[in-house]
Structure 1
Amino acid sequence: MSFILRETESTDLSSIAAIYADAVLTGTASYELVPPTAEEMASRFAAITGQGYPHIAATDQVGTVLGYAYASAFRTRPAYRWLVEDSIYLAPEAQGRGIGKALLRELIGRCTALGFRQMVAVIGGASPASVRLHAVCGFQMTGTLIGTGFKHGRWLDTVLMQLPLGEGNATAPDEMSYPGSLFSG
């Protein structure tokens, strides 16, 4: 099955909300217990893109959303402004087809082009598939937080992985080139 990667559009948000709802209800990647409403997902989308972070969708040839990925602030304190956290969610029927890898590679490229210096993956439930995906894309394991979430009747670990972007921490960033609006002013 072929797919297209493109900017997420507001018309994608109901499909994105459904994909995320499935992940919340059946998976461990998200530690949310109740799926957010479509309105809440639209608010989150507006906040992410309004701050200059990339948000991309994978669709089939007729426009059905198969998955999505975005980058956002890891933390809001100013010293973290060069670090982004990635998030990727796929529709169940899209899993295992290379779509997650394509989304992550595209997201890495966009974040690098924007001037971010590090990307971190916070992998809920220590999902082996997500750990493998991030490792294939060059992320290094940086740690495991034991028993950090309780969902589906069991304790879940959280894995942290990290990828340098561009020059990483080898050089100081150009303070004037920061792409996001989160820390401006």
Structure 2
Amino acid sequence: MLGMNPIYERSSATVTVRPARPGDVDAVRAIRNHAVEHSTALWTRTPQSAAESVAWLAVHLERGSALVAETGGEVAGFAVYGPWRELDGYRHTVEDSVYVREDRHGLGIGSALLAALIDSARAAGHHMMIAGIEAGNTASIRLHERFGFRLVGTVPEVGTKFGRWLDLTLMGLPLDPIC
């Protein structure tokens, strides 16, 4: 296990990562919608409705690409991966998303989720994992760096939220480096 980064992790917590279940949808939706409303992690202004959340999670459950982290018996974060692009030529590349409940930041939950998500994508036979991160989100960039993701590039002013332009940092992790 990687060491803790004292800048971003206050202390370790007992974290259990497991496959998501349909019953997790409300907790996942609350975490996701908080990110929509209060951060630039998700580049949309529209929170998911209950029906949209059920449909979104169902797609990931069918794919086997959704995980949740629990602390103290409560869902404290979630992670998913999905197709990076829809065209057939990209079928071996996935994009990750990791979100931690606001009051659980700094407890190693993001690290536990990302480690398990990488393992899951490798086990599913994927070749490359991409992370698309708002360039100012240094915590997420450093998290991904700790797991071996490398900077691919930054696309300036490709999105907008909260009345300002956002730059997109792309990072990549080969999942099967020996071809």
Fold similarity call, TM over 0.5: yes
Name the counterpart of 1:157: 167
- 1: CA distance, partners of 2:40 / 2:135: 5
- 2:107 and 2:155 map into 1 onto residues whose CA distance is 29
Q: CA deviation at 1:125?
A: 4.8
| Structure 2 residue 94 is the aligned partner of structure 1 residue 84 | yes
Contact 2:15–2:112 (8 Å) recurs in 1: no
Looking at structure 2, the residues matched to 49 and 3 of structure 1 have their Cα atoms a distance apart, in angstroms, of: 21
Number of the residue aligned with 2:78: 68
- Number of the residue aligned with 1:93: 103
Residues 22 and 58, structure 2, Cα contact 8 Å, conserved in 1: no
**CA-atom RMSD, angstroms?**
1.2
1:12 aligns with 2:24: yes
1:57 and 2:68 equivalent? yes
Structure 2, unmatched stretches of 5+, are: 1-12
Distance 1:161 1:120, change over 3 A: same
Counterpart of 2:52 (choices 40, 43, 58) is 40
CA distance in 2, matches of 1:157, 1:53: 30
Q: How many residues align?
A: 167
Matched residues in 2 for 1:19 and 1:125: separation?
21
- Supply the distance in 1 between the matched residues of 2:106 and 2:133 (Cα, whole angstroms): 17
Contact 1:29–1:125 (CA<8 Å) still a contact in 2? no
> Secondary structure at the residue paired with 2:116?
helix
Q: Distance in 2 between matches of 1:125 and 1:91?
A: 21
- For structure 1, the 5+ residue unaligned runs are 172-185
Code of the residue aligned with 2:128 in structure 1: it is Q
Contact kept in structure 2, 1:123 and 1:131, CA below 8 Å: yes
Q: CA deviation at 1:132?
A: 0.5
Shift in Å, 1:159: 0.6
What TM-score comes out, normalization by structure 2 length? 0.89
The question of whether the paired residues in 2 share the 8 Å contact of 1:4 and 1:61 is answered with no
Matching of residues 137-156 of structure 1 within 5 Å: 137-156=147-166
Distance of 1:17 and 1:38 partners within structure 2? 8
